[in-house]
Amino acid sequence: MVLPLEMGWRHLLFESWPVDPELVAAHLPAALEPDEHDGSAWLSVIPFTNVAVRPEGLPRSLGVRLPEVNVRTYVVRDGVPSVYFFSLDAQGLASVLGARAFHHLPYYYARISLEWADGRVAFDSRRRHPGDRPARYEATYWPTGEPFEAPSDPLATFLVERYRFYTEAPDGSVRYTDVDHDPWTLYPAAATVETDTLLRANGFRRPDEEPVRYYSPGVDVTASRSRRAAEVS
């Protein structure tokens, strides 16, 4: 049994597009359905850094920092709004291997830099996972406007207020992890994206229209161990 984990999520950009639900459904396990907002499914690319990642109960000083960028969509199963990850590119090789082995997450080793200066985040991720197709995400992003609580906005609630995520294990089983944290504080965000081949690496075309963007300074999180979802009869 893998212990639950504690960590912080910091300097997040939520970059999201509405897409045809059938497009998303074609990339999901049969046990999951796309969740929709105003008739659309959504795809998101989210760069950020994990901080103080450690087994639950250990002091923060023993945790590790793990910059990452993930590609995800939004699903529902048994009436529970959830997240499904297509990929997670992260800096730490040992953490990537551990997440793959014990949490069945589709992590890929990448070389990542994240720097916060003058109110902006400079983020650069280059996938270096052995045997996998290359992928890169390079962007600068920053908060604009006034902060707001995500539960006060229907679209923000749909995109960020989710407390379960699903993955597909190598044996084809669907697994889930529950997370616990305070509600999100968000800002409207702006970004300059120099390169994004992550969506293409997952079989999607990056939409031409501008995405909905939010920035968050972050939350502290507890994540449960990975559990196997019951088979659909």
Question: What are 101-150's pLDDT values in tens digits?
Answer: 555 678 899 999 999 999 999 999 999 987 777 899 999 999 999 999 99
Q: CA distances (Å), 71 to each of 41, 119, 165, 180, in order?
A: 14, 24, 12, 20
Domain borders along the chain are: 5-227
pTM for this model (two decimals)? 0.93
Q: Residue 227 burial by CB count (10 A; 0-12/13-18/19+): exposed, middle or buried?
A: exposed
Once rounded to an integer, what is the mean pLDDT over residues 41-68?
A: 94
- Please tell me the predicted confidence (pLDDT) of residue 134: 85
- 45: pLDDT strictly greater than 60: yes
**Beta-sheet pairing, 227-228 with 212-223:** unpaired
**Cβ contacts of 148 within 8 Å, gap of 6 or more:** 156, 185, 186, 187
- 24: pLDDT strictly greater than 50: yes
> Which residues are registered as beta bridge partners of 155?
none
Q: Are 206 and 194 in contact (CB under 8 A)?
A: no
Q: Residue 27 burial by CB count (10 A; 0-12/13-18/19+): exposed, middle or buried?
A: middle
CATH 2.40.400.10 fits 5-227, yes or no: yes
Q: Are 222 and 1 in contact (CB under 8 A)?
A: no
Residues 5 and 53: their CA atoms lie apart, in Å, by 7
Nearest to 54 by CA among 90, 114, 2, 107: 2
- Please tell me the predicted confidence (pLDDT) of residue 133: 79
- 87: pLDDT strictly greater than 70: yes
